[in-house]
Chain A
Amino acid sequence: MITCTNISKKFRWYERSDSLKTSFVKFFDKSKKIWEWYVLNDINLKINEGEKAGLIGKNGCGKSTLLRLITGIYTPTSGKIINNSKRMLALIELGVGFYKDLTGKENIKLNWVFNGLPKSELKNKFDEIVEFSGVGDFLNTPLKYYSSGMVSRLGFSVAIHANPDLLIVDEVLVVGDTEFQKKCFDRIEEVCKSGTTLILVSHNLSDITKVCERAIWLNEGSIQFDGKSSDAVKSYLNSLNQSELIEYKMENYA
Chain B
Amino acid sequence: MIYTFTGQLSKIWKYRELASELFWTYLKLRHVGSVLGFIWTLLNPILYILTYWIVFSLIIRMGLENYPLFLIPGYLAWNFTFSAIVNSSESILQSKDLITKIAFPNEIIVLTNVAVGLVDFVISLIIFIIVIFIFYPPVSYYITLVPVILFLQILLTVGVSMIVACISVYFKDVPKLIVVLGNIFFFLTPIFYPLDFIPSDFRIIALINPLAQIINIYHDLIYYKEFPSIILIIITATVSFTVFAIGFLVFNKLRFSFAELS
Q: State the A residues within 8 Å of B (CB).
A: 11, 15-16, 18-20, 68, 71-75, 88, 90, 92-93, 96-97, 99, 101-102, 106, 109-110, 113-116, 118-119
- Shortest Cβ-Cβ A-B pairs, 8 listed: A75-B256, A113-B18, A96-B101, A71-B103, A92-B101, A113-B17, A72-B103, A113-B21
Q: Does B259 have its Cβ within 8 Å of any Cβ on chain A?
A: yes
A110 partner residues in chain B, CB cutoff 8 A: 21-22, 25
How long is the Cα–Cα vector from A74 to B256 in the complex, in angstroms?
7
Q: Is the interface of B mostly helix, strand, loop or mixed?
A: helix
Q: Are B103 and A73 in contact (CB under 8 A)?
A: yes
Interface centre among B21, B29, B256 (most CB of A within 10 A): B21
CB nearest to A15 among chain B residues? B261
Q: State the B residues within 8 Å of A (CB).
A: 14-15, 17-18, 21-22, 25, 28-29, 32, 97-104, 170, 172-173, 256-257, 259-261
Q: Are B17 and A101 in contact (CB under 8 A)?
A: no
How long is the Cα–Cα vector from A15 to B172 in the complex, in angstroms?
11
B21 partner residues in chain A, CB cutoff 8 A: 109-110, 113, 119
A20-B173, A92-B102, A106-B25 known; A116 vs B260 contact (CB < 8 Å): no
23 CB contacts below 8 A, A to B, read A15-B170, A20-B173, A72-B103, A73-B100, A73-B103, A75-B257, A90-B102, A92-B101, A96-B102, A97-B97, A97-B98, A97-B102, A99-B25, A99-B29, A101-B29, A101-B32, A102-B28, A114-B18, A115-B102, A116-B14, A116-B104, A119-B17, A119-B21
B25 partner residues in chain A, CB cutoff 8 A: 99, 102, 106, 110
Known: A96-B97, A96-B101; 8 extra A-B contacts, CB below 8 A, are A20-B173, A73-B99, A73-B100, A90-B103, A92-B101, A93-B101, A97-B97, A99-B25
How long is the Cα–Cα vector from A118 to B259 in the complex, in angstroms?
25
CB nearest to A98 among chain B residues? B97
A75 partner residues in chain B, CB cutoff 8 A: 256-257
B101 partner residues in chain A, CB cutoff 8 A: 73, 92-93, 96-97
Q: Are B102 and A74 in contact (CB under 8 A)?
A: no
Q: Are B259 and A68 in contact (CB under 8 A)?
A: yes
CB nearest to A168 among chain B residues? B103
A93 partner residues in chain B, CB cutoff 8 A: 101
Minimum C-beta distance from A129 to chain B (A) = 16
Minimum C-beta distance from A228 to chain B (A) = 30
Minimum C-beta distance from A35 to chain B (A) = 14
How long is the Cα–Cα vector from A90 to B100 in the complex, in angstroms?
12
Minimum C-beta distance from B111 to chain A (A) = 14
B14 partner residues in chain A, CB cutoff 8 A: 116
Q: Are B103 and A88 in contact (CB under 8 A)?
A: yes
Interface centre among B25, B99, B260 (most CB of A within 10 A): B260
